[in-house]
Amino acid sequence: MPLCGFNKKMLDGIKMFADGALEHGIIERSQKRGVSIDEQFKKEFEEMDVFLKETEKIDKSYLRKQITGATLLARGIYEENQGSIEKYIQTTSNMINLFRDMDDHFYTNLNGDYRRMPELFDWINKR
């Protein structure tokens, strides 16, 4: 990622997080609760919305950012997979490829110049 970069361990960790979020948060919990996948997605979104509002009460800025970041990552994964849970392996792979390609594009094509960040986001939107 710009200003830091991604390495294989980071990308593998994000993939494992995404897989675990869907497997545990959606599939296993829907089975345990005896509800549909769609109902479980709705429940997770409701819980995350309340949770994210409450994170504002965390005093330590770094801790608030860590907790919020992990929650937003899971929420984005859920949003992408809502209604198509059987495709989550492909959508996770697409996300990892985007992160890797974004990193490569920033450091190779934009020479790691943070002033060219708008170009990076134009590139992302055109993918």
**Is residue 3 assigned to a domain?**
no
CA distance 118 to 127: 15
CA distance 57 to 63: 11
**Is residue 1 assigned to a domain?**
no
Report residue 123 as tokens: 């590139």
Count the alpha carbons within 13 Å of 46 in the hemisphere toward its beta carbon: 6
Give the pLDDT score at 1: 52
Mean pLDDT estimate for the chain: 92
pLDDT per residue as tens digits for the range 42-97: 999 999 999 999 999 999 999 999 999 999 999 999 999 887 888 888 888 899 99
- How many domains is the chain partitioned into structurally? 1
* pLDDT classification of 101: cutoffs 50, 70, 90: very high
**Is residue 114 assigned to a domain?**
yes
Task: Give start and end residues of each alpha helix (H) in 1-127.
Answer: 8-20, 29-33, 37-54, 61-81, 88-104, 117-126
**Is residue 14 assigned to a domain?**
yes
Its domain, for residue 50, covers 8-126
The mean pLDDT value for 105-126 works out to: 95
pLDDT score of 31 more than 80: yes
